[in-house]
Amino acid sequence: MRNRIIFLMVILLSLNLTIPVEGETLYYYKGPDTSEDNITLMDFQVTGSTPIEEGNYLSVSFKLINSNDGDTPLGRNGVFLAVKDPDGVERIVGCCYQNHTMQPDESISFETTLYLDKTGSWSIWPSYELKLYDPIKGWYKKVGPKYWHAYNFTVEVPDKPDLAVEYIRLEPSKPVIGDNVTLLVGVKNIGTKEAVDCTGRILIDSNTTLYVDIPKLDASEHIELESHWTPSEPGIHEISFLVDCYQKVDEIRESNNYLSINTTVAPRGVDLEAYQIQVSPKTLMVGGNATIRPFIRNIGVNRSIKCNGTIYIDDEILCNFSISPIRPGGVYGDVSIRWTPREIGVHQIKLWVDSNMIIPEKDEENNYLAIMVNVTGEDHIPPRVNVSYTPSIVTEKDNVTFHVEAFDENGVEYVSIVVYSQPSMLHFGLTDNMNTSFNYTCGPFQRGDTVYYYVESRDNAGNRYRSPTYNFTVVSYYSGNLTVDIYIEPSNPTELDEIMIYAEANYPYGVREISIIN
């Protein structure tokens, strides 16, 4: 019920609806007073009870009149009550008539309610926001005069009790499924009078409710309340406590009656192992970019929950990262961490699994893994690569063997070759991560094709090389050319002879058509 009342109060204030406030007139300015913007203030009145104490409400009203000859546009905040609280924070309360255009002589009546949530010196005054236009500056906003007939007052501490929730603590602090968890809640009366006995409510994940009795507490008296909970589900759980949940105590403030914490419940039978650390490139250089990939394995019998991991370089934290839940026998390796070495020499890279220590495990020693890496000086020289092919003259019947060799003082990470032909659009290629030299055979290609090829390589220091694109043309397998023989019979014809014309064509690939045109 308490939460519902507080929520309703916020809604009422945001809508600029007033909560009826009984009491006397604390301040009244009749007016009129016209600002430099020709906005006239009238009947500024503040009503409330005395003494003015924390937790009280004030009712505030005033009237603004447009004394300009023309229209006056109000801005986004319209008309409002300006407030300066004891912390020196200025804020706006009860905005209304936002983006409204006031006609000449138009009057606006303003009413709102102000909740006094702090002790100390306050100041409140009527204000407004105008939306104006300047040919040079363009549109801009302007607010009313600061401390415009302000009402200055002091909020005192009421002579009442005030129950505050100090802490929620769990024993054990890192529970496991099935544990009998002791919930300890600290409550103190920080008010000036005795608080009557009341009831406190513990809420777990909005579905488990426990109630505890709270005896009467003298001013400044503290009590630790105890309850018990047996978690049955792993993961993050919200535990909250509300003191005086039935609102028996008339106290100074309600905002300190509630406290909420999150706790992580771990499953049983989880055993996370710092399994492997991969570092690339193989050769690390000062000022270069290195990538560290940690791998975590669950060698337990139950699925783990989300936890954290930490990477150290020479015992200094490089990065904290999140480890997703891992099934039994599964490996998690979805994290890549960047590292830029700054010093030459041997460095230790260490992985700590479950570094936020939320998972109780049978073996905690396997949560650590360390490797040593060597960092050398800078290397900006790419690898050297040679490529050749056989046979030197390629025909449509030949497979082509490319011989690729790569060299680098710091070692070669990979070398690859790409081969393609035009116009037949054949594509071939190979990437080798194990060997610095290899033979690659592909083909055959169509006669007349132009075959293009290039090689790429990267050394262990991360330097890349790509060769120019070379090419050769596929020639005919047969050395002969097309031949055509033509002869007639008789060989020496007369005007009386019938002449027979013969044609004979020869080509290694065969003749598709031969014609005699007379």
50: CATH: 2.60.40.1470
The residue with greater pLDDT, 424 or 33, is 33
Across the chain, mean pLDDT equals 90
Same domain, 50 and 67: yes
Instruction: Determine whether 177 is exposed, middle or buried from the number of CB atoms within 10 Å of its CB (0-12, 13-18, 19+).
Output: middle
Last residue of a domain, one of 237, 265, 293: 265
- Residue 38 clears pLDDT 70, i.e. is over it: yes
Same domain, 127 and 199: no
Same domain, 222 and 307: no
Same domain, 401 and 423: yes
pLDDT of residue 189: 96
pLDDT of residue 482: 78
pLDDT digits 0-9 by tens, 216-254: 999 999 999 999 999 999 989 999 999 999 999 999 888
pTM of the model: 0.54
Nearest CA to 204 among 237, 157, 242? 237
- Name the one residue in this structure whose structure tokens are 């409330």: 48
Same domain, 197 and 257: yes
Is residue 484 a part of any domain in this protein? no
Last residue of a domain, one of 236, 265, 294: 265
Q: Of 148-152, 250-254, 389-393, 439-443, give the lowest mean pLDDT range.
A: 250-254
Mean pLDDT of 479-504: 84
pLDDT of residue 491: 84
- Residue 474 clears pLDDT 80, i.e. is over it: yes
Is residue 496 a part of any domain in this protein? no
Same domain, 369 and 435: no
Is residue 11 a part of any domain in this protein? yes
Give the bridge partners for 55, in sequence order.
Answer: none
pLDDT of residue 55: 86
Structure token pair of residue 152: 């200055």
pLDDT of residue 13: 35
The residue with greater pLDDT, 360 or 109, is 109
Strand, coil or helix: what is 257? Answer: helix
Is residue 84 a part of any domain in this protein? yes
- Residue 107 clears pLDDT 90, i.e. is over it: yes
Portion of the chain with pLDDT greater than 90, in percent: 69
Query: How many structural domains comprise the chain?
Result: 4
Per-residue confidence at 32, pLDDT binned at 50, 70, 90? very high
Structure token pair of residue 511: 């003749």
Q: Which domain holds residue 388?
A: 384-473
Mean pLDDT of 118-145: 94
Is residue 488 a part of any domain in this protein? no
Is residue 495 a part of any domain in this protein? no
Same domain, 428 and 464: yes
Mean pLDDT of 372-393: 90
Same domain, 255 and 204: yes
Conformational region of residue 147, where left means phi above 0, alpha means psi within -120 to 50, and beta covers everything else: left
Mean pLDDT of 296-317: 95
Portion of the chain with pLDDT greater than 70, in percent: 95
Per-residue confidence at 212, pLDDT binned at 50, 70, 90? very high
pLDDT of residue 434: 78
Burial 307-334 (b: 16+ CB within 10 A, else e): bebbbbbeeeebeeeebebbeeeeebee
pLDDT of residue 230: 94
Contact 241, 165 (CB under 8 A): yes
pLDDT of residue 49: 92
pLDDT of residue 20: 56
Same domain, 134 and 188: no
Same domain, 315 and 208: no
Q: Of 16-20, 78-82, 279-283, 467-471, give the lowest mean pLDDT range.
A: 16-20
pLDDT digits 0-9 by tens, 3-14: 333 333 333 333
Per-residue confidence at 1, pLDDT binned at 50, 70, 90? very low
Is residue 492 a part of any domain in this protein? no
Contact 470, 418 (CB under 8 A): no
Mean pLDDT of 486-502: 86
Same domain, 92 and 188: no
CA distance 77 to 98: 5
Last residue of a domain, one of 155, 176, 192: 155
Is residue 108 a part of any domain in this protein? yes
394: CATH = 2.60.40.1930
Same domain, 184 and 244: yes
Per-residue confidence at 21, pLDDT binned at 50, 70, 90? low
pLDDT of residue 137: 85
In sequence order, what are the residues at sequence separation of 6 or more whose Cβ sits closer than 8 angstroms to the Cβ of residue 161? 189, 191, 192, 193, 194, 195, 196, 217, 219, 249, 250, 251, 252
249: CATH = 2.60.40.10
- Residue 15 clears pLDDT 90, i.e. is over it: no
